[in-house]
Amino acid sequence: MDERDETTALHVVGWIVGDQRRAERMLDVTGLSADGLRAAVGNPAQLGAILDFLLDYEPDLLRCADELDLRPEQIVAARERLRS
């Protein structure tokens, strides 16, 4: 894992919370609270879990990658490195 993976994950978090419905769904699915989400920002394992949320719904993955000017594969690779 390197700093770029955490940066990618933080951009994804920003994209997720930029839409209230999507943010609420992420909190419901992950079991995180708003405080837990703030704490997750500094934790690579929890950032990885948030990326898992995105990876589990391909339409959001594709939309997120497009809006962040990333390839979906970059997000997947960041997730894999955060896992290790």
**pLDDT (tens digit, 0 to 9) for every residue of the chain, 84 residues total?**
588 999 999 999 999 999 999 999 999 998 989 899 888 888 888 899 899 999 999 999 999 999 999 999 999 999 999 987
Q: What pLDDT is stored for residue 71 in this prediction?
A: 98
Q: Which of 23, 36, 30, 57 lies closest to 75, judged by CA?
A: 57
Helix (H, G, I), strand (E, B) or coil at 42: coil
| pLDDT given at position 69 | 98
* Distance spanning both ends of the chain, measured CA to CA: 7
Buried b (16+ CB within 10 A) or exposed e, 52-64: ebbbeeeebbeeb
For residues 41 and 72, what is the distance between their CA atoms, to the nearest angstrom?
A: 21
Residue 1: the pLDDT is 58
